[in-house]
């Protein structure tokens, strides 16, 4: 039996600008210039101990990107932060400071999101590892924050994990400016043929596959489906998995993704 659905939280619910402008609000930018941020929507990506009673938090914020925060005293038994700074929980966070390591001054649980469990939980940690390894610090990505919130909601509500992951991987490459156009062949400058096989140059885009290629071969239909975000076809799911693994490895410079290896071993995602 599926769990009773909690109200689906969206980034708009997490203090998104009322006007619909996807950029950071002017007030937030001005506050950032002064080194004081209040009530910023965010998620904990990772944390680790600092000295005896504190934590270093890698926070993904909507309007300020990834920021490193020191949570002083968060490990103390009676700290108000102890049960709040959990992964995959929508937070409203405040901090001060202009250096690379700021000081967390407040964090409140926003609520409205089901917890991740079992395979969905591993998938969530995979998303977090991608963000930690591929996002630069202090580089705002409001649309990517929206994609992250949507992906967590979809995983929590039992949607197909491979499809959720492929959509987020593609959004991550697009929003960080390293994704290529999958609809145009770089060799001919013509539209991709759905029936032809291609390989995708990570820096340039698709070109016709040849016998000597060691890169993943994919049908043009798969590339068109990926560009539309349509992963319904079985061939598209299989081919996009191998293609995205290849493209992400290029961006990571060969650095391994620990959570993905666990997922590969368990679920072949």
pTM of the model: 0.85
| DSSP H/E element including 197 | strand 197-201
E-only strand ranges, 80-179: 91-96, 101-109
Interatomic CA distance for residues 73 and 9, integer angstroms: 29
Distance between CA atoms of residues 124 and 112, nearest Å: 17
pLDDT of residue 158: 96
Confidence (pLDDT) at 22: 37
List the one residue out of 26, 20, 38, 168 whose CA is nearest residue 91.
38
What is the reported pLDDT for 82?
83
CA–CA distance, 131 with 24 (Å, rounded to integer): 19
| Mean pLDDT, 10 residues at a time, the chain of 269 residues | 45 40 44 77 96 95 97 91 93 95 96 92 95 96 98 97 97 96 96 98 97 97 97 97 96 88 66
Q: What is the pLDDT of residue 30?
A: 47
Q: Give CA–CA dist 90/84, Å, rounded.
A: 10
């Amino acid at each position: 039996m599926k769990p009773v659905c909690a109200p689906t939280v969206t980034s708009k619910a997490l203090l998104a600008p009322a006007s619909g402008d996807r950029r950071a609000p002017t007030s937030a930018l001005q506050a950032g210039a002064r080194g004081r941020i209040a009530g910023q929507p965010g998620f904990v990506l990772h944390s680790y101990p600092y000295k005896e009673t504190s934590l270093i938090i890698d926070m993904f914020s909507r309007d300020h990107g990834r920021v490193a925060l020191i949570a002083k005293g968060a490990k103390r038994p009676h700290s108000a932060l102890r049960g709040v700074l959990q992964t995959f929980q929508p937070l409203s966070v405040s901090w001060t400071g202009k250096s690379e390591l700021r000081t967390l001054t407040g964090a409140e649980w926003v609520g409205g999101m089901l917890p991740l469990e079992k395979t969905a939980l591993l998938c969530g940690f995979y998303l977090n590892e991608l963000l930690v390894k591929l996002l630069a610090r202090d580089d705002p990505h409001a649309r990517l924050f929206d994609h992250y919130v949507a992906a967590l909601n979809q995983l929590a509500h039992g949607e197909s994990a491979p499809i959720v992951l492929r959509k987020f991987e593609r959004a991550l490459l697009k929003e960080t400016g390293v994704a290529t156009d999958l609809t145009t062949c770089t060799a001919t400058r013509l539209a991709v043929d759905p029936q032809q096989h291609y390989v995708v140059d990570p820096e340039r885009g698709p070109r016709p596959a040849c016998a000597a290629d060691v890169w993943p071969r994919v049908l043009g239909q798969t590339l068109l489906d990926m560009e539309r975000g349509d992963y319904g076809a079985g061939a598209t799911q299989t081919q996009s998995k191998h293609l995205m693994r290849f493209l992400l490895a290029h961006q990571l410079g060969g650095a391994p993704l620990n959570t993905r290896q666990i997922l590969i071993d368990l679920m072949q995602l």
